[in-house]
Structure formats: C-alpha cells, structure tokens
Structure 1
C-alpha cells in the first residue's frame, strides 16, 4: 500500500504528496533518460524524432513502476518536458524527496552479517548518503572488501578480496566502463573443508558503481554467483 502525506501549499490548500517510491537504481535510470532527451534536443531539430524520444523515455520510466498512483504519475510527468540541461537538473532535483534510502544498517547488524570478522571496523555511517545506495560496500586492510545488499526485504552480506587492476573494464554489477578490480570470495563446497573461489571484476569505487547502477538485475546475479 502506498501512503501519502498531507501537504499544504502557499494558498492554504491541502493535497496528497506520495511517500518515497523511487529506488536509487531507478533514479539513475531516470537520470539516463534525461541525458538522452537533452542530447537529442542538442543534436537534432526534427520535431517528430524528438517527440518519439520523449514518448520512449516516458514509457520506459513508467514501466519501472507497475502500480503508480495518480500522485506518483504527477511527480514523474515533467520528464516529457525536459529539453535543456537546466530542465533535467530541475526535474531530477524535485525527484530527490521521493528516493527510498537504502535499508538502515547498524554496527549490530554488521556483526550479525559477518560473525567471523572479529576486528570488523565497518564504514563511517556519518559520511554515507543512503539515498544514493543500491548496496553498501567498503574495504578494510587495503584489500578486504565487505558488501551488504538487500534480498527479499532483509540485509545479506558477502566479503572477499579486491585485487586492484589499475585498468578500466566492465563492472559486473553496474555494467559500466570504469576502474575495476577483481573481487574474489571463498564459498564452501561439498565436504567440510572444501572451498571454491568465485569472483568477477567490479568497480573499485562503490560510490561510482552506485551512481552508475540503473538496474538491480546484475547486482542480484553477482551476489547470487558468489554465494551459490
């Protein structure tokens, strides 16, 4: 169920304002669509082509949200009017109050997720904007990386080593070209003392990855591959 907040405008009228309903990855997808519209406006002057671009952007964004309320549609509708960079910036700024922050993480929760990490320091929560996260990751002791993500409404965690490659490549999580490193983790195989190493290249900087991530599909595939 979508809850709404009662808000009062400058004239004293009361209206319904939807609660946050946009995940970070969905916000990034919308941001990508605004870039397409701005680029199309700057490089072409065919009104019909531009109209098609706006229609496609509108359709793709609305497809992200199968059960939009009238209030939520009103929040997203200005996308179709984006032409210049300033339009895109203004539109994205007015979406920010509707972004769902990443699930709250505490030191106690981290100890439960990583019970064997006795000297776990954890990230500096005060420096983190949880609205800009699709997953939480940080490194300790130069190469040990911890990653926390949400699955079926609860937090899950994986950890492994991150070997920096000093080169650019495609990240397995965000599917963008960036500075990547090889993340590898040990998982138990059949037998008490048998382990298998699994891994892939991911962004060295989790902040860059979270800002690029426009779908949770590959994040799910990556974490599933590590843990299977």
Structure 2
C-alpha cells in the first residue's frame, strides 16, 4: 500500500522539474548541459523530502534517467498514488469558518479532486467576495475579503504564474498593542481569479501562508 507523502504543491514542483528535463532533451545538444539539467532536477526533487531514504527516494531520483515523453508521463503517474489529499471538509465546517456570512455560497465540494488542492478558494459575484480555506497546524482556517477583477493577466502572488488575476484584500485581525478602537488595516495582493488554475500551478505555499498569517495573526 502506498503511503502518501507528496503535497500538491510539491507534486507541481516535481512536474516542473520533469518538464525542464524534457524540454532540455528536445532542445539541448550539449551533453554536459543536458547532464547538468538532469542532475539539478534529481537533486531538487530529492531535497523536497530530506527524510525519505527508502525506495521512494529512488523513485523520485529516477527523474534524471527519463528519456521520452512517455517516460515522463509514466513517472508522474507513478507519483500520483503518493499525493496527500487536501483534508476532507464539510459544508458545515466551512460555514463555521465564516460565521458572519449567513448566506454564504459554497463551492460544489463533490466536484473537487482533493489530490490536486493546496487550498480551497471561490468567489461570490453577488457580494464581490473571495473566500480561501487552508489547512495548517492540524486545523482549517478561513480568510474572506473583497475581490476586484483586473481583467488582465499578470503574476499571482501565490503560484507566481502568469494568469488572470483579481485584487484580493482582507481586513487584518492583527492589532498593535495600543491601537485605537477604530484601528483598521487592509491586507491585499493579486491572486488567480480561478482557484483551480492556482492549485495546478503552485509550487510553494510559503507566500500564501505568510498572507494568511498577516490577516489572521
């Protein structure tokens, strides 16, 4: 039985490394450069899991020996059983994260493949709000805020890919020690307007976690 150990963003990172090797195979004629690309991909994939020393390490490092597009497809398919799913969450649990939203519109959870989710996000057009649910420290956290569609593409702060963005701004719950009663601070950044695109692209969740911490404290 496969024991999952790869999070979605790590799988995406490995996929990017595989793509870089495949691209090099198709475009690089210098054997030394090609070997350097292979070695780099192997090292980066292994470094994601420093505590893995069994056959899983061998499986990850086999990225350096792949030669054809079919090889790479089979390599990535072999990793899929090891992907850690986003923890199951119910509609009731989500509503508890946003108690002030009595008419909260929820995504169709049954249509989401949790293997390829680092965070849940959705928008409510009627209220111009975006909602994010993340799992950290053994619990779910929720962030809501205003979103403004930009109607253009640029780089998302979460996945750092060139996608259609929205400005997402949330009221920070952090307060200075001697803040006045009317203290207010908004935290904003540009994020993919389509959450499934962001989840497909994200290779590092540190920016998202930093943003969530800046809002929730």
The normalised TM-score by structure 1 is 0.87
1:32-43 correspondence to structure 2 within 5 Å: 32-43=16-27
Mapped pair 1:196 → 2:164: no
> Retained in 1: the 8 A contact 2:172–2:214?
no
Is 1:136 matched with 2:120? yes
Please give the alpha-carbon distance, in whole angstroms, between the structure 1 residues aligned to 2:63 and 2:24. Answer: 14
Q: Does 1:159 align with 2:147?
A: no
Corresponding residue number in structure 2 for 1:173: 158
Contact 2:91 / 2:106 at 8 angstroms: preserved in 1?
Answer: yes
* Contact 1:168–1:178 (Cα < 8 Å) also in 2: yes
The CA deviation at 1:168 is 1.0
Within the candidate set 11, 14, 17, 1:27 is matched to 11
Equivalent residue for 1:87? Answer: 71
Per the alignment, in what secondary structure is the counterpart of residue 42 of structure 1?
helix
Aligned residue for 1:10?
A: none
- Give the unaligned 5+ runs of structure 2: none
Q: Is the 8 A contact 2:170 2:186 kept in 1?
A: yes
1:124-150 per-residue CA deviation (whole Å, 9 max, x = no partner) reads: 011101111110001123421110012
RMSD: 1.5
TM-score, normalization: structure 2? 0.92
Q: Deviations over 1:191-212 (max 9, x none)?
A: 4443322211111111111111
Larger relative strand fraction = 1
Q: Show the 5 A alignment for 1:28-107.
A: 28-107=12-91
In 2, Cα distance between equivalents of 1:82 and 1:34:
9
Deviates more, 1:164-173 or 1:191-200: 191-200
Aligned residue in 1 for 2:106: 122
Q: How far, CA to CA, are the matches of 2:200 and 2:67 in structure 1?
A: 22
Aligned residue-pair number = 212
Q: Is the 8 A contact 2:153 2:165 kept in 1?
A: yes
Rounded Cα–Cα distance in structure 1 between residues aligned with 2:139 and 2:66 = 37
Q: 1:3-23, CA deviations, whole angstroms, 9 ceiling, x for partnerless residues?
A: xx3xxxxxxxxxxxx401100
CA contact (8 A) 2:46 2:61 kept: no
**Match of residue 182 from structure 1:** 167
Comparing both chains, which one has the higher relative contact order based on Cα–Cα distances under 8 Å and sequence gaps of 6 or more?
Answer: 2
Helix, strand or coil for the counterpart of 1:120?
coil
Structure 1 residues not aligned, in runs of 5+: 6-17
d(CA) in 1 for partners of 2:181, 2:95: 24
Pick which of 75-84 and 172-181 moved more.
75-84
